């Protein structure tokens, strides 16, 4: 009888073993330490509407900021049909203060598409909807439908950069980091896996002062072994944020202020606002600014506010008058205003 041939490892066996080890330790950690969030279910079938709504709100926004808005939206519009039927201005008003206002316009447009055509069953289908990019589509598909997608946000990029001590700096390293995250994907618990990676980055593998001793991957982490995990991911120095200047006009009548609707296209598109000049790279003189006032009146300078957007910082001088503007607009209050205009509506008041 011939001797039995020695079993040689198949190509990739070591990589699969490493993947399975990392997955087992992280999912075990997640089961014990995963965050309890209003939109997260630990058991039962996830509601695609809640998953989609939360993922849109969480785009470039913290969990702490999203929580109250998520509850408010569910109270007002508990399902996609009610959100689709709501006036867009009501949705924009409810979104005020959460930032990145194109998300609110896209949310309403997508709700109408979902109410008419149903929820897509996979990542490809979600990519077709307004406001749903690669990350959001992958997250919804994994969490709501159990599709084994590659869900990569900033938290996951940071975890991968440290786990493998990737020397290439961001943003150029994004493709490499996504590929490394993709190599850890498996069919087992894809939704939990996506959320476990995000939770690890958000609560343990944090940008500054990572809590390495609490990390389930400490023994496998190349950045920890280097002695300087906080230096990953490597980054190219950011260019200085440009400064812009404008003037906002606060026309007052009794306790109301004059509001206008910003154009759909552009920053803060579709949101309620105070009338303003253009935002430009140099400060406005009083004579220049008054040419853009919404009414002829005795405008006084009440002060200035500064607000930092993603790509620039804005200083708004605020002019106030007891005036009666004409044209499109309405009398209202500051509650539904984006943060920068809410600041301008309050500056100089006792």
**Catalytic residue selected from 55, 123, 147, 157:** 55
Nearest in space to 338 (alpha carbons), one of 155, 100, 97, 10: 97
Instruction: Say if CB 224 and CB 164 are below 8 A apart.
Output: no
Is 55 in the active site? yes
Structure tokens belonging to residue 13:
């066996």
Contacts of 152 (CB under 8 A, 6+ apart): 135, 138, 160, 177, 178, 181
Distance CA 49, CA 57 (A): 12
Pairing mode of beta strands 300-308, 313-321: antiparallel
List the beta bridge partners of residue 82. Answer: none
Distance CA 143, CA 41 (A): 10
List the beta bridge partners of residue 306. Answer: 315
Pairing mode of beta strands 272-273, 300-308: unpaired
List the beta bridge partners of residue 331. Answer: 258
Residue 4 DSSP label: P
Residue 307 region by backbone torsions, left for phi larger than 0, else alpha for psi between -120 and 50, else beta: beta
Instruction: Say if CB 149 and CB 138 are below 8 A apart.
Output: yes
- Report, as residue numbers or ranges, the catalytic residues: 55
């Amino acid at each position: 009888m011939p001797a039995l041939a020695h079993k040689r490892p198949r190509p990739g066996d070591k990589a699969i073993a490493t993947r399975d080890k990392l997955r087992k330790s992280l999912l075990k950690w997640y089961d014990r330490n995963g965050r309890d969030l209003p939109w997260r279910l630990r058991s039962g079938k996830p509601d695609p509407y809640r998953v989609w709504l939360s993922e849109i709100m969480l785009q470039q926004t913290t969990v702490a900021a999203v929580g109250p808005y998520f509850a408010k939206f569910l109270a007002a519009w508990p399902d996609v049909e009610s959100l689709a039927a709501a006036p867009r201005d009501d949705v924009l008003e409810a979104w005020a203060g959460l930032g990145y206002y194109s998300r609110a316009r896209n949310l309403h447009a997508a709700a109408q598409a979902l109410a008419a055509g149903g929820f897509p069953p996979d990542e490809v289908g979600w990519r077709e909807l307004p406001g749903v990019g690669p990350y959001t589509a992958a997250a919804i598909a994994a969490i709501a439908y159990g599709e084994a997608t590659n869900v990569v946000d900033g938290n996951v990029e940071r975890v991968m950069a440290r786990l493998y001590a990737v020397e290439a700096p961001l943003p150029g390293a994004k493709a490499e980091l996504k590929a490394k995250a993709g190599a850890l994907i498996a069919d087992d618990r894809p939704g939990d896996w996506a959320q476990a990676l995000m939770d690890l980055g958000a609560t343990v593998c944090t940008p500054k002062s990572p809590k390495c001793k609490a990390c389930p991957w400490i023994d496998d982490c190349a950045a920890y072994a280097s002695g300087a995990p906080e230096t990953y991911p490597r980054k190219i120095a950011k260019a200085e944020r440009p400064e812009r200047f404008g003037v906002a006009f606060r026309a007052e009548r009794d306790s109301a202020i004059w509001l206008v609707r910003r154009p759909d296209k552009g920053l803060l598109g579709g949101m309620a606002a105070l009338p303003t000049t253009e935002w430009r790279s140099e400060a406005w003189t009083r004579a220049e600014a008054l040419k853009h006032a919404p009414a002829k009146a005795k405008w006084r300078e009440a002060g200035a506010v500064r607000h930092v957007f993603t790509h620039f910082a804005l200083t708004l001088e605020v002019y106030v008058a007891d005036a009666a503007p004409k044209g499109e607009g309405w009398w209202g209050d500051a509650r539904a205003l984006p943060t920068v205009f809410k600041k301008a509506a309050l500056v100089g008041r006792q």
